[in-house]
Amino acid sequence: MKSFDYVTPQTAERAISLAGVDARFFAGGIDLLGEMKEYIIQPRRLVNVKQLPDTHEIKSGKDVWTVGANVTVADIEDHEELKKVFPGLQQAAAEVGSPQIRNVATVGGNLAQHSRCWYYRHRDIRCLKRGGSTCYAREGENKYHSLFTGNPCISPVVSNLSVALAALDARVIVRRGKEEVPMTVPEFYAKAWDNPEAHHSLGPTDLILRVQIPNSGSRSAYLQISEKASFDWALVSCAAAAKVDGKRLSGVRIVLGAVAPIPYQAQAAHEFLEGKELDDGAAAHAAEMILKNAEPLAHNGYKVPIAQALIRRTLNQLVA
């Protein structure tokens, strides 16, 4: 790791003024420090944002819940009221890393973390996402990679929270210059769909301040399949949310993680389930619609049946 400056601003304005191409915002540091140790990135300055006001609390409201960017993943996992209102978000938080990691990792960091592709993470390989000319995973080892993508890079999004928050129609509030910009989760990751070098849609001076989750009365659930029972990345994850009347669904959202560079959803499946009573046939057909355009590679075709099963199981949790 190369030497760097370390600054601790007390306001968002000052933090942004200290950021830039050669600087990085620093909170939990789980992902950032790993990249620095492997010489994947070499920032000249770390801007510690852990002291910024109004970024450490979970606030309930009649219409909207607010979760600060510096709230830890463990805070979400352990928040009893949030668990009752947004069980899918709590379930997603509980699957992040180990207890030690969840005690340090922040909401903002989980959303903004970078690719886990082993070619991207290899210090001696300059892959497409790191500014090279080749996605080595396409013809190489692609067991953990995407089924859907809009560009040559097949590295998937790995943020658990992004999948659950997308299903809940959350907004990420980003400080951009002097303005606070609300971004839907699809907007937050949209650039990664088209641009192989992007991990999300944030610029180097864009700062996540908080997340807002509408209190719409929807039920939610999250499931994932990993190779190990704990402390492992998802092979595939699924979050779902809907208003439920008996077994009739409305306002349905189903989101897959670890299968695309964005939290992946298919509007056609949402429209198909709208107003329907959920049964095995409806859940299976929705799963088929979502996976219709999947493009499995040499080693990741197993993700398709896993995703289909997870979609069915997650939807069934909503009506259980």
Q: 118-127: which pairs have CB atoms within 8 A and are 24 or more residues apart?
A: 120/40, 120/155, 121/35, 121/38, 121/40, 123/38, 123/39, 123/40, 127/153
Give the chain's length. 320
Q: Are strands 45-48 and 64-68 parallel, antiparallel or unpaired?
A: unpaired
From-to residues of CATH 3.30.465.10 in the chain: 58-112+155-214
- Given a cut of 90, whether residue 2 has pLDDT beyond it is no
**Residue matched to tokens 């606070």:** 180
Classified by CATH at the fold level, domain 58-112+155-214 comes out as 3.30.465
Is the CATH number 3.30.390.50 carried by domain 219-319? yes
From-to residues of CATH 3.30.390.50 in the chain: 219-319
Residue 302 confidence (pLDDT): 98
Q: What is the pTM of this model?
A: 0.97
pLDDT digits (tens, 9 = 90+) for 265-315: 999 999 999 999 999 999 999 999 999 999 999 999 999 999 999 999 999
Residue 1 confidence (pLDDT): 79
pLDDT digits (tens, 9 = 90+) for 78-102: 999 999 999 999 999 999 999 999 9
pLDDT digits (tens, 9 = 90+) for 202-251: 999 999 999 999 999 999 999 999 999 888 999 999 999 999 999 999 99
Integer Cα distance of 255 and 264 in angstroms: 5
